[in-house]
Amino acid sequence: MLVVVLDSATPAVTAAVAAVRRDDVEILTLRVSVDARAHGELLAPAIQGVLADAGVKPGELAAVVAGLGPGPFTGLRVGLVTAAALGHSLGIPTYGVCSLDALGWGQPGTVLAATDARRKELYWAVYTDGERITGPAVDRPDEVAARAAAAGARRAVGEGAEKYELGLAADGPRYPVPEALAALAADRVRDRAPGEPLTPLYLRRPDATLPGQQRKSVLQ
């Protein structure tokens, strides 16, 4: 089955066509442009491009897979609105995957996945052998470093780990991996599971609170 894969939770605007088979997942075509301010301009042409590159007509797609974030509001919203509109127009299901999971996927040992949340904060989660054990959350780099160490992380992946000194060796992918997004949704694709609402992961603390209210992370 053929699926289109999208992610716009980071500065990387990603579109791919993947073949989901009984025993594996293969990325057939991929386009990635890194521009934190041009998600709206880049994503639709990227989708058209990967479909053309793969020689796939929209009507041949079985599903849409999209990264749910966490990520800055504007870029993330572009990807999820586009994915939902594509699924609706084609009458095919949409499946969401935490974008941090597409960084931690397939990583051996215990690793921190971190992306830039701006405002001197990071979106982060910790994984052991690809399984999320902590997060997702948003915190200052010093808090992330302490929590990652407490969880046993020995290294880090993601652009956020490269931007800030977290006391961990930063290697591996900088941005969510399309193959991982497709693989994490593959069972749902194979089972032809009902489509899901693409609910974005907004973890940002609110900029303003009513007097007496404690600022806290939110998940919408």
Write down all domains in the chain, each with its CATH number in brackets. Answer: 2-99+176-190 (3.30.420.40), 106-170 (3.30.420.40)
Q: Residue 141, preceding bond cis, omega within 30 degrees? A: no
Mean pLDDT value of segment 85-99:
98
How does strand 169-170 pair with strand 155-157? parallel
205 vs 199, higher pLDDT: 199
With cut-offs at 50, 70 and 90, classify the pLDDT of residue 208. Answer: very low
43: buried, middle or exposed (CB in 10 Å: 19+, 13-18, 0-12)?
Answer: buried
| Residue-wise pLDDT tens digits, 20-44 | 999 999 999 999 999 988 999 999 9
**What is the rounded average pLDDT for all residues in the chain?**
92
Residue 219: pLDDT above 90? no
Helices (H) and strands (E) in the chain, counts: 6, 10
* Banded pLDDT at 215 (limits 50, 70, 90): very low
- The pLDDT of residue 8 is above 90: yes
Q: What is the pLDDT of residue 205?
A: 53
Pick from 13-17, 82-86, 124-128, 215-219: least confident: 215-219
Please, are residues 218 and 199 in contact by the beta-carbon 8 Å criterion?
Answer: no
pLDDT confidence bin for 202, thresholds 50/70/90: confident
CA–centroid distance for 64 within its chain = 14
Region 156-162 average pLDDT: 96
